[in-house]
Amino acid sequence: MKITAFFKNSLTVTLTLAIAIYCATALFANPLDDAKKKGIVTEKPDGYLEWKGKEGEIIARDINRKRAEAYESISKKTGVPKSRVAREAAAEARRR
């Protein structure tokens, strides 16, 4: 019985995390896609953006701030460490 409960809880956390990450990354899609196409921002494996030039910095700092808030919120809701949430978001972004 305990093992079944563990897997149910684990599945719930995983699904919640995946949905939240998908929604969080979708929020930043349009300006981010444009900046990526221009080559002024790139995704880092830690879930945040790296930038080139002033325009890239403005976009990346704003999105990184919003991502940090989203990762923190997801972390609090799921109990998953913020750094793991961020890495999972980065992996999801690479798959897109």
pLDDT digits (tens, 9 = 90+) for 22-67: 666 555 557 888 899 999 999 999 999 999 999 999 999 999 999 9
70 pLDDT tier (thresholds 50, 70, 90): very high
Task: State residue 80 phi and psi, 5-degree precision.
Answer: -85, 135
Model pLDDT, residue 1: 47
Question: What's the rounded Cα separation, in Å, for the pair 87 and 46?
Answer: 5
- Mean pLDDT for all residues in the chain: 83
Percent of the chain having pLDDT more than 90?
Answer: 53
Count CB-CB contacts under 10 A for residue 23. 11
The residue with greater pLDDT, 96 or 88, is 88
Work out how many domains the chain is built from and give that number. Answer: 1
Q: What is the pLDDT of residue 57?
A: 96
pTM: 0.68
Determine the structural domain holding residue 23 and report its residue range: 2-95
